[in-house]
Amino acid sequence: MLEVWGENGKHSSEIISVMVSESPDRDDPGAPMRPWRKRDEMWLATRALLQPDPSTGSGRLRLRVDREASIQLTTPNLGNNAGGHSVVESKKAMKARGMKSPDRAEAVLLAVYEPNLRRRGLIV
């Protein structure tokens, strides 16, 4: 839908599709939190951007979101799989414990997510 709106002149943003079920483009075995899938990477990367810098007390990113998005950003639990990768709770698991799908939160995550564009030839 965003691509159609761009074609119709409703915005001039570049739309980059992301398959959240794919593995991340890079893996650092020494990292304290290694995401299993791109969805996990989005959550972990945004979490890191929001963490306060010990020297300044401010995060690198400040979000102005509504109450519902703010609640959804704190809803999923973080765990690990057998391979030692960090895994964010699935929407199915959240639903099983009576929580709503974090659609608004994931829209925020996608807005700030920067996939590795070199692989697709978008960066020279």
Residue 26 domain-assigned (yes or no): no
Burial code of 52-61, b = ≥16 C-beta within 10 A, e = fewer?
Answer: eeeeeeeeee
Residue 121 domain-assigned (yes or no): no
Tens digit of each residue's pLDDT (9 = 90 or more) over 58-68: 888 889 999 99
User: What's the whole-model pTM score?
Assistant: 0.79
Residue 59 domain-assigned (yes or no): yes
Tens digit of each residue's pLDDT (9 = 90 or more) over 33-58: 899 999 999 999 898 888 888 888 88
Residue 8 domain-assigned (yes or no): no
Q: Percent of the chain scored above 90 by pLDDT? A: 53
Residue 22 domain-assigned (yes or no): no
Residue 119 domain-assigned (yes or no): no
Which residue segment(s) compose the domain that 40 sits in?
32-114
Residue 19 domain-assigned (yes or no): no
If one counts the domains in the chain, the total is 1
The whole-angstrom separation of Cα 91 and Cα 109 is: 15
HEC-encoded secondary structure of 8-39: CCCCCCCCCCCCCCCCCCCCCCCCCCCECCHH
Amino acid identity, position 103: D
Residue 86 domain-assigned (yes or no): yes
